[in-house]
């Protein structure tokens, strides 16, 4: 990456220069879906997945007894009809390589006409959720191909699971940020209050990012490097060690765990 200096008429001066990071031409030629610009942070590039993944539905938690007698807390994940390839994006057509996957069959009237047209183009069933998995190569995938979990993963593999956390609503500082409360005695006038939020005249404002009461939960969260404990083909469920985001019935995205040096290059 090189630095380019160009004249910039800042504060009326014609001699000042503005340094701009110049990215490779191959990256600048990519569409906006890949090359997203964040305010004040230059160019943000979407990250590659370690491999193709699937979508699933959280069913709940239970205790799993291993053959050696060790009890492991696991989350049971089920699969509804779907996980079908609905679109394949390539460098030639879209500027990047990705596979779009659909999940959870719904009735036709639940989708808009553009959504139905997009799925009917490849002969796929109507599905509620569409997500992309950006990969290095997409040559091994076909349109309307069904992705089967036990063909992509096996017991003992590590996966990254992302989903939407349980919404808690508007919460105070103690529950949201684990603040300590004040004395609960009769003379105290500060039991669960937030307390001071800054100085006086200097700086005369509240710093951005101050931990204060607000809406808690309901955000996207990824739990990394979770172990697949059991794959039950008869019940069509998977048991993953540990807790997963959201409540039962929540949509989950399961992908191979990113391990630098193994399935993710160090550079």
Cα Rg, the chain, nearest whole Å:
25
Q: Please tell me what DSSP assigns to residue 111.
A: S
- The predicted pLDDT at position 13 comes to 39
Distance of CA 84 to the CA centre of its chain: 20
Check the CA dihedral 141-86-95-225 and report its sign.
negative
Round to whole Å and give the CA distance between 172 and 176.
6
Round to whole Å and give the CA distance between 266 and 160.
19
**What are the residues facing 230 on neighbouring strands?**
239
**Within a 10 A sphere around the Cβ of 164, how many other Cβ atoms?**
16
Q: Helix, strand, or coil here: 4?
A: strand
Q: Helix, strand, or coil here: 77?
A: strand
- The predicted pLDDT at position 12 comes to 39
pLDDT tens track, the chain, 267 positions:
444 443 443 333 333 333 334 445 444 444 434 444 444 445 545 688 888 999 999 999 999 999 999 999 999 999 999 899 999 999 999 999 999 999 999 999 999 999 999 999 999 999 999 999 999 889 999 999 999 999 999 999 999 999 999 999 999 999 999 999 999 999 998 899 988 899 889 999 999 999 999 999 999 999 999 999 999 999 999 999 999 999 999 999 999 999 888 877 776
Burial of 134 (C-beta count, 10 Å sphere; 0-12/13-18/19+): middle
* 192-201 burial: b if 16+ Cβ within 10 Å, else e: eeeeeeeeee
């Amino acid at each position: 990456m090189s630095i380019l200096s160009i004249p910039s008429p800042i504060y009326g001066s014609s001699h000042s220069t503005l340094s701009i990071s110049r990215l490779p031409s191959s990256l600048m030629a990519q569409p906006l879906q890949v090359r997203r610009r964040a305010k004040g942070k230059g160019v943000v590039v979407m990250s590659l997945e370690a491999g193709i993944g699937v979508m699933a539905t959280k069913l709940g938690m239970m205790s799993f007894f291993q053959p050696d007698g060790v009890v492991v807390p696991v989350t049971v994940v089920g699969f509804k009809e779907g996980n079908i390839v609905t679109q394949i994006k390539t460098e030639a057509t879209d500027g990047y390589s990705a596979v779009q996957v659909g999940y959870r069959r719904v009735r036709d009237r639940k989708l808009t006409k553009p959504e139905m047209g997009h799925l009917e183009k490849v002969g796929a069933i109507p599905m509620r959720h569409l997500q992309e998995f950006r990969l290095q190569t997409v040559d091994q995938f076909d349109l309307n191909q069904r992705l089967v979990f036990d063909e992509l993963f096996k017991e003992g593999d590590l996966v990254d699971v992302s989903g939407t956390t349980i919404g808690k609503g508007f919460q105070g500082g103690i529950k949201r940020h684990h603040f300590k409360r004040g004395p609960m005695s009769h003379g105290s006038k500060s039991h669960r209050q937030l307390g001071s939020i800054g100085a006086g005249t200097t700086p005369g404002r509240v710093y951005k990012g101050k931990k204060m009461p607000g809406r808690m939960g309901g955000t996207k969260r990824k739990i990394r490097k979770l172990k697949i404990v059991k794959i039950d083909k008869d019940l069509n469920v998977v048991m993953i060690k540990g807790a997963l985001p959201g409540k039962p019935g929540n949509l989950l995205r399961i992908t191979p765990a990113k391990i630098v040096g193994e399935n993710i290059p160090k550079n």
